């Protein structure tokens, strides 16, 4: 029995199962947190009908912000599940890495922009004009994320094409054998 465990350990199977198990627990925890945040957003949305005029708008903005955060957390859980728990194919292929990172950063950008819009509407309704520069900083951070993502894609697409070209050359040599 110990020899079998030792052989598994030498092949890295135990480490792989351990990492996948921890990743699955982490994904389950993130999914549970996301569901909890969705439920809190639902209760805030239900309070829209029960509150006064000022309260309705506040509850509506809060529920929209919570939904944006819940979607971002759920997408993070799904991405970790796809990459760590149920990997398909070559995990190091540039198109796979670029696709996963791009998808995750886009969810973060959308969540930041939604939060910025909520802050803008909330501060303009409550006449807290002195807080508007913070809203513009949120939009500026989203703009920096978009520019950074564009630069990342611009840099990695040629590398991806080179790797695919190399794979085509390798496969043509394999067919000759």
Same domain, 9 and 83: yes
| The domain boundary residue, chosen from 25, 58, 88 | 88
Alpha helices in the chain (DSSP H): 2-11, 13-46, 53-80, 94-125, 132-176
Residues 82 and 23 in one domain: yes
Domain boundary among 54, 88, 122: 88
Task: Tell me which of 65, 88, 111 is where a domain ends.
Answer: 88
CA–CA distance from 63 to each of 30, 34, 123, 144, 176 (Å)?
19, 13, 16, 26, 61
Range of the domain at 174: 92-177
pLDDT of 1: 58
Same-domain check for residues 57 and 27: yes
Local structure of 175: helix, strand or coil: helix
Query: pTM, whole model, 2 decimals?
Result: 0.67
Residues in the chain: 177
Residue (of 26, 25, 31, 24) closest to 85 by Cα position: 24
Residue 52 backbone phi and psi in degrees, to 5: -80, -175
| 10-residue averages of pLDDT along the chain (177 residues) | 63 75 90 93 82 69 85 86 73 70 86 86 78 89 94 85 70 48
Is residue 66 domain-shared with residue 10, that is, in the same domain? yes
Q: Answer yes or no: do 60 and 103 share one domain.
A: no
Structurally, the chain folds into a number of domains equal to 2
Token pair listed for 172: 């043509």
């Amino acid at each position: 029995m110990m020899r079998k465990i030792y052989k598994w350990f030498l092949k890295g199977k135990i480490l792989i199962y351990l990492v996948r198990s921890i990743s699955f627990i982490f994904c389950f925890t993130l999914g549970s947190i996301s569901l909890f945040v969705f439920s809190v957003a639902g209760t805030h949305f239900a309070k829209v009908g029960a509150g006064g005029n000022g309260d309705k708008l506040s509850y509506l903005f809060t529920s929209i912000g919570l939904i944006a955060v819940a979607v971002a957390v759920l997408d993070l859980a799904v991405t970790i599940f796809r990459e760590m728990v149920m990997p398909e194919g070559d995990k190091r292929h540039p198109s796979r890495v670029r696709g996963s990172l791009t998808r995750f950063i886009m969810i973060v950008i959308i969540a930041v922009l939604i939060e910025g819009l909520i802050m803008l509407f909330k501060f303009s309704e409550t006449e807290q004009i002195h807080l508007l520069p913070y809203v513009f900083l949120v939009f500026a951070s989203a703009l920096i994320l978009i520019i950074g993502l564009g630069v990342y894609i611009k840099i990695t697409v040629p590398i991806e094409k080179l790797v695919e070209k190399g794979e085509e050359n390798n496969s043509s040599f394999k067919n000759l054998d």
